Amino acid sequence: MKKAFRTLFIVLFFWLILGIYFTNRLMYMKKKDEDFILRREKEAGRLNPEQLKSLPRRYIDIPSPFGYMIKAVLAEPHQTNRYVIIAHGVTETKVNSIKYANLFLERGFNTLIYDHRRHGESGGKTTSFGHYEKFDLKAVVDWLKNEKGGDLFLGIHGESMGAATMLLYAGLLEDGADFYIADCPFSDFKQQLSHVIKKDFKITPALLLPLGDAILRFRDKYSIRHVSPISAIENIKHPVLFIHSRKDDFILPSMTKELFEHKKGPKMLYIAEKGRHAQSYNENREDYERVVDEFLQRYVHQASLPG
């Protein structure tokens, strides 16, 4: 009997440790070195320091509803009411958003880039893959609307976790932008974690996910099942451009196709031929910009004309 209890204790202890390790990887996912991101973007020609210095811009502190500051940069070279907010992916910073900001600046929009919680210069202790981040995005949207007034015409571009955050914001909190561009989002966090567990842990997800979810609810006060853009996508009425790379093996392109199929109303889909996760723009720049232009022409430009 004692041996059986000892064996049971060891098994339970092992699973508890595994569950804590699993939730640590989620809550405190290792971020890319900020100097590495800056150097990478410079060397790739996606960030020009001299051009950045000459750009009319402001550094903004936006209060998060969770008690820390969201660090943002507002670039306003154009006399226009058209703005785009850009949300980066997990492990990145707002420096990674500069290439997308340039894309929209070239098309006559002003832009706001910001660091997610626990990334870059922003506060926050944990990463929640869109659950808490969606409330921070709402804070950014609300700040910009209060700053610019009621005639603001707003787009939001999100990449990876930033895209999932954007869809959760628009589908669960408020459809508060006039258009959205979702680049390589996951459709459901539970499905995404199942995919990662199979690859990285080499065990059946059904063995780890319920335990991990219980520990996550205790430690970070939310459930994996609450992070599900697919459950909210039908609430988004404004136009959405969905983008993914065909060769993405981290977040599968089938997730974006599923989101596209469930989205009602105006929408477009672009599957890039080259590049893996979050590389659609880097590896297919001309096609990416062509599709964005087509989307803007079809759904945005006429709607943003005054009067």
Asked if 270 and 259 touch (Cβ cutoff 8 Å), the reply is: no
What pLDDT score was predicted for residue 52?
86
- Tens of pLDDT, residues 185-236: 999 999 999 999 888 777 788 888 999 999 999 999 999 999 999 999 999 9
**Measured distance CA(304)–CA(307) in Å, rounded:** 9
More confident residue, 204 or 10: 204
- Tens of pLDDT, residues 232-268: 999 999 999 999 999 999 999 999 999 999 999 999 9
What pLDDT score was predicted for residue 18?
85
168 has pLDDT over 70: yes
Instruction: Lowest mean pLDDT of 63-72, 85-94, 168-177, 298-307, name the range.
Output: 298-307
Give the residue extent of every domain in the chain: 1-30+190-223, 33-188+227-300
Specify the CATH number for 33-188+227-300; select among 3.30.470.20, 3.40.50.1820, 1.10.10.10, 3.30.559.10. Answer: 3.40.50.1820
Asked if 198 and 206 touch (Cβ cutoff 8 Å), the reply is: no
State pTM to two decimals: 0.94
306 has pLDDT over 60: no
What pLDDT score was predicted for residue 245?
98
DSSP string, 143-166: HHHHHH-TT-EEEEEEETHHHHHH
- Average pLDDT value over all residues in the chain: 94
